[in-house]
Amino acid sequence: MEQLVETADAADLVDRIDAGHALTGTEALAVLATPDAETLALVLQAGRLRRRHFADTVKVNYLVNLKSGLCPEDCTYCSQRLGSDAQILKYKWLSTEDAAEQAGLGVRGGASRVCLVASGRGPTDRDVGRVTDMIERVKDENPGVEVCACLGLIKERHASKLAAAGADAYNHNLNTAESKYDDICTTHTYADRVATVEASKTAGMSPCSGLIVGMGESDEQLVEAAFALRDLDADSVPVNFLMPFEGTPLEGTWELTPLKCLRILAMVRLACPDREVRIAGGREMHLRSLQSVALEVANSLFLGDYLTSEGQAAEADLEMIADAGFRVLGRPERPAAASSCAEREAEPAAHACGTGCCGSRDDDAEAPAAETSAAETPGSPVLRRRGAGTAAAPNA
Ligand code: SF4
């Protein structure tokens, strides 16, 4: 396969994209085939597009899991799927008060967008009513914050109600290529997912749709999926790196390296040069020490924890942004590096992860074995469920 082995090649490609050229399939495959030794040079070139459109800002997003587990769908990558044995927190709907309280923590931690997420195939009329109440409450309590709803497959009338309540965006990921989709889900189709993204657009919400990479897809399928997102005109593109939960069919699937993750992000940036590209779930375990390098390509991340697993502590996310020379979107100054553990603990509102930080995450507490979900593969990263090390039971 043709390779972008010369830095000049990547520079020329970025120049042409900057002038309006649309990345071709051949070029996208060449980006993914960049040798490890040339990958950081590729990142620097792709970063020119990121800086041109987003300067030194990082958009901070915060997840609120409104309803966890108990899903009737069978997405193979998902810890909340039908039949999943993953030891995750499982609960039915949060109250409006609890959802608003969690959202406020994220906003005070720096988030300019709150993502209200619920497991399930899609919402009922009653579910939409609950979430519209939450949207109104969150927006009322946090002026200027964006709210993104993520409730599964959605009908146009439900999308219209969410938009009328103030939802700025709707997330529904394509996740992977159409040619790969039957391998990862049998209870709904790729076309169902596309229809939901289109319904959110019709209702006037900003379409957020992205990927999960590392599920056994080929480079051709990565390109197919990225180009589908470009064709759908997604405004924001979260790139998730598979977290292979124990108790799911993809348990033990570890096929990404930090440099491969960077090449995938660079390809997505070149395909969608002016779109929000987000380093999403799994960044900690797959990008590892290159997380901040990824911000040269991506311009967005989730703060703190994910839906069912622990992320890096929110404080560490903010430090990473500042240390790499970026600033949080919507905040004029770069976040100051946290000065001391005592000061952090005096400001619990900054602990948006909700589980403490700087070693105070109850890591010292001896969690029951069933509460951790380290992958079984020897030497693989530890995947901890959200709530592990706390008093919360998996079915709290
Ligand atoms: S990804 Fe969504 S629809 Fe699929 S199993 Fe998980 S919660 Fe259910």
- Higher pLDDT: 366 or 324? It is 324
pLDDT tens digit string along 127-172? 999 999 999 999 999 999 999 999 999 999 999 999 999 999 999 9
Q: Give yes or no for residue 123 CB within 6 A of ligand 1.
A: no
Residue nearest to atom 4 of ligand 1 (CA): 75
| DSSP line for 190-246 | HHHHHHHHHHHHHTTPEEE--EEE-SS--HHHHHHHHHHHHHHT-SEEEEEE----T
Provide the CATH topology of domain 55-371: TIM Barrel (3.20.20)
pLDDT tens digit string along 254-297? 999 999 999 999 999 999 999 999 999 999 999 999 999 999 99
How far apart CA 250 and CA 241 sit, in angstroms, is 12
Per-residue confidence band for 331, with pLDDT thresholds at 50, 70 and 90: confident
Residue 179 CB-density burial (10 A; 0-12 exposed, 13-18 middle, 19+ buried): middle
Distance (Å) from CA 73 to ligand 1 centroid: 6
| Mean of pLDDT values over 18-22 | 98
Range name among 241-245, 290-294, 377-381 with the lowest pLDDT average: 377-381
pLDDT tens digit string along 111-124? 999 999 999 999 99
pTM recorded for the entire structure: 0.87
Which atom belonging to ligand 1 lies closest to the Cα atom of 175? 1
Range name among 15-19, 47-51, 106-110 with the lowest pLDDT average: 106-110
Nearest-CA neighbor of 68 among 56, 81, 50, 54? 81
115 annotated ligand binder: yes
| DSSP line for 112-126 | SEEEEEE-SS---HH
pLDDT tens digit string along 335-370? 454 444 444 444 433 333 332 222 233 333 333 333
pLDDT of residue 365: 32
Q: Where do you find CATH 3.20.20.70 in the chain?
A: 55-371
